[in-house]
Amino acid sequence: MRHVLTPLLLAAALVAGGCDEQRASKLEEGVSTEYDVRHQFGEPAQVVERPDGSKVFSYPRQPEGTTNYEIAIGPDGKMSSLRQLLTPANFAKVQPGMYQGDVRRLLGRQAKSVFYATKPDEEVWQWRFVQGQTPKVFEVTFDRDRKVLATATVDDERHTLPAK
């Protein structure tokens, strides 16, 4: 049954990502309003209000999706930026010594947190993304002080495990 579900999960994630791309294409920086953003993307998972009156909307698509969006609304109520956070450029910014909160602000909500019995002082966060047509996982390992120890990009095991 796994060999049937895996392609279906990938297809669902790609379709969901495609829907977001269509939604994003209907929005224009400096023109689209907060109402337009909410109409296209729905209610954000998180809203951060800044002292200048601007807002940042978070639209995480983890754990099953392959994107995390951040949309900024200026003090004038118009969209000032729309960014997909799970990019090679953002992954490259994650450096040893960074705190978990800084990584979360850079990449958005993770798909999964993992603790390994053999390394009880470490925690691994994972984000699912697509590189070309290949499902991948970006991993960040944190130490007991919640600082980055290492990063890695690996194949998404949900798509590489043999069928049962």
pTM: 0.81
Domains (range + CATH), the chain: 2-84 (3.30.1450.10), 88-159 (3.30.1450.10)
Average pLDDT over residues 79-108: 97
| Mean pLDDT, rounded, for 37-65 | 95
- Are 11 and 5 in contact, with CB atoms under 8 Å apart? no
95-140 pLDDT, tens digit each: 999 999 999 999 999 999 999 999 999 999 999 999 999 999 999 9
**161 pLDDT above the threshold of 90:** no
pLDDT at 11: 41
